[in-house]
Structures are given as C-alpha cells and as structure tokens.
Amino acid sequence: MPRASQYDDVVLRALGRSTRFRSCQEIHLALSGGRSRARRPPSLSTVYRTLHRLAEEGVLDTLHSPGGERLYRLCRTSSRHHHLLCRVCGRVEDVAQAGELAAVAERVGADSGFSSLDYSFELSGVCPGCA
Ligand SMILES: [Zn+2]
Ligand SMILES: [Zn+2]
C-alpha cells in the first residue's frame, strides 16, 4: 500500500523521540498538533495502519495496556525481547530472558509437530517507584 508507506518516516520519527509505549491515538495527536506539526498530518486510520504494518514487519515493538489498548514503541534492541509494564505509571522494562521462552516454544513445537511457532509474552506489575 504505497499511500500508507509514505508516512513510515513521519510515524517512525514521532516514535523515535519517545521512550514510552504510546497508543495509536497518542501518536496521531503528536503528529497533528504541537511543534512537530506535519504539513499534512496523516489521518488516525493511516497512523493505525502504518503502526500495525511496522509492528508486523518487526520494526516496532507492541504490548497491550491493562485496558487492552495496543501500544507501540521503537525499541533500541533489534533482537527479540519481551516487556515488563508498570500498571501504575506505564514505565516499561525490557525482559532479558527471551532465550528461555524461545527454548520452551521450540520444545512445544517439537512435541506437537507444529512448525513456524509464534508467541507473545507480556508481563505487567507495579514498579519499585510506584510500590
Ligand atoms: Zn523493548
Ligand atoms: Zn511505576
């Protein structure tokens, strides 16, 4: 979809400035208002489609907020990893034990005969600052 991909850079630039995971609506708001106003801000559905596709391609990381909303961030780590979300302040830590989960998925695949196994793993809790 060439119309969506023309906004890749705009969306990635908006994400690059933030260390927080943000919803599609927050990112859309950042693009259509304030100092970073784009000449022709993309519509909410364009932002949504762009985020969704970039996440599918593995460019963006996603997780679900406690309310079930999908959140996006551009992570500095290029290797597969998982996230630990604070339900109070929204702070997110990267989880380093991705290898152990990959090993579990591999064993499940071997035992079941399933191939191309995919999985997501999301953890949330209350961070030390909010406890
Ligand atoms: Zn991450
Ligand atoms: Zn917190």
**Residue-wise pLDDT tens digits, 53-63:** 999 888 898 99
Residue 74 has pLDDT above 60, yes or no: yes
CA distances from 79 to 9, 12, 61, 108 (A): 22, 18, 11, 21
Count up the domains in the chain and report the number: 2
25 and 69 co-located in one domain: yes
Q: Whole domain around residue 99: which residue ranges?
A: 79-131
9 and 39 co-located in one domain: yes
42 and 94 co-located in one domain: no
31 and 87 co-located in one domain: no
Ligand with an atom nearest the CA of residue 130: 2
Cα 37 to averaged position of ligand 2 atoms, centre (Å):
30
Name residues whose C-beta falls within 8 Å of residue 104's C-beta, 6 or more positions apart in sequence.
none
Cα 105 to averaged position of ligand 1 atoms, centre (Å):
20
Instruction: Report the pLDDT averaged over residues 108-131.
Output: 92
SS3 85: strand
120 and 60 co-located in one domain: no
Cα 63 to averaged position of ligand 1 atoms, centre (Å):
9
Residue 6 has pLDDT above 90, yes or no: no
Q: What is the mean pLDDT of the chain?
A: 85
Residue at a domain's end among 38, 61, 76: 76
Percent of the chain whose pLDDT exceeds 70: 91
63 and 15 co-located in one domain: yes
pLDDT at 19: 79
88 and 66 co-located in one domain: no
**CA-angle at 85, arms to 122 and 57, nearest 5°:** 55
CA atoms of 54 and 11, how far apart (whole Å): 10
CA atoms of 98 and 101, how far apart (whole Å): 5
Residue 46 has pLDDT above 70, yes or no: yes
